[in-house]
């Protein structure tokens, strides 16, 4: 009997380790803000992108500091390849919501096609999101490049 119980416990242990957290409604709203932010970049939609950001957003990207104008310029205006396509996949690690401020940590894997070339990039990122009158907005984003291929 003891062996049977130990066997059942050992077989079920990996299932518990792989379970995804059950995100609350507010955590999901914050995560959707992050997803929407990157969807706007993928769609090269500066109006939508600005709608997901605070006016004073700061991005720490590969050792550079960007503001909203830099973000729009580098991700949309200078991104003119006719065949551009970007898909994003998120693995949310932690999302903490405290009244009108939230912290989100995630892995972002993006595949981009530009000028016939396909590139895959993996970042680990932390975002601070604040609640404004029209919903959650990205205020700060810190990006760490993990792998580019």
Q: What is the CATH number of domain 23-148?
A: 3.10.450.50
Nearby residues of 87 by Cβ (< 8 Å), 6 or more positions away:
42, 110, 111
**DSSP state letter for 20:** P
For residue 123, CA distances in Å to 19, 48, 88, 100, 145 come to 22, 22, 11, 26, 5
2-38: pLDDT as tens digits: 555 544 455 554 444 445 569 999 999 999 999 999 9
Three-class SS state of 19: coil
Write down the domain spans for the chain.
Answer: 23-148
Contact 48, 70 (CB under 8 A): no
43-82: pLDDT as tens digits: 999 999 999 999 999 999 988 999 999 999 999 998 889 9
């Amino acid at each position: 009997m003891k062996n049977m119980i130990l066997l059942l416990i050992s077989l079920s242990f990996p299932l518990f380790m792989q379970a995804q957290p059950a995100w609350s409604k507010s955590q999901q709203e914050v995560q959707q803000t992050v997803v929407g932010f990157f969807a706007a970049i993928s769609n090269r939609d500066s109006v939508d992108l600005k709608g997901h950001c605070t006016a004073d957003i700061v991005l720490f990207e590969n050792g550079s500091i960007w503001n909203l104008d830099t973000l729009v310029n580098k991700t949309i205006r200078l991104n003119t390849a006719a065949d551009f396509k970007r898909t994003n996949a998120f693995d949310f690690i932690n999302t903490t919501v405290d009244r009108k401020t939230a912290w989100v940590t995630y892995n972002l894997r993006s595949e981009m096609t530009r000028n016939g070339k396909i590139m895959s990039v993996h970042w680990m990122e932390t975002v601070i999101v604040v609640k404004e009158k029209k919903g959650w907005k990205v205020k700060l984003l810190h990006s760490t490049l993990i792998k580019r291929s």
